[in-house]
Amino acid sequence: MDLGPTGTTTASYPATAALTAIGKASLPALLKVIETREVDSLEAKNARHTVRMIFHMHGRDAEAFFREFAAKAAAPEATQRLLHALETADADWKAF
């Protein structure tokens, strides 16, 4: 992920900071992005990162969130994209 000259996702993409500040109320919109965008898209990467930040700030487990919604996903592609989030944890954390 190109983080630009500032070196952080939240500085380069202010919407991620705003969604993180909103917290759990932003999770449905972030979930939709993760379910519908290609896994390597900037939108999906930023959405995964933002979900992880929200859960990190509230002492909850983002991985459990991704597993739970992967099990509930209506489309196989959505399931795969949510499960892919489990594989990208290290990369998503290194992005900030």
4 inside domain = no
Q: Locate 25 and state its tokens.
A: 């109320």
1 inside domain = no
In the chain, how many domains are there? 1
User: Does residue 55 surpass a pLDDT of 80?
Assistant: yes
pLDDT of 95 reads 57
7 inside domain = no
Range of the domain at 64: 14-94
Q: Locate 56 and state its tokens.
A: 């990190």
User: Does residue 2 surpass a pLDDT of 50?
Assistant: no
* Contact call for residues 92 and 48 (beta carbons, < 8 A): yes
28 inside domain = yes
Contacts with 25 (C-beta within 8 Å, 6 or more apart), sequence order? none
* Contact call for residues 66 and 83 (beta carbons, < 8 A): yes
41 inside domain = yes
CA 1 to CA 68: how far, in whole Å?
A: 26
SS3 call for 50: helix
pLDDT in tens, 4-52: 334 455 567 888 889 999 999 999 999 999 999 999 999 999 999 999 9
User: Does residue 60 surpass a pLDDT of 70?
Assistant: yes
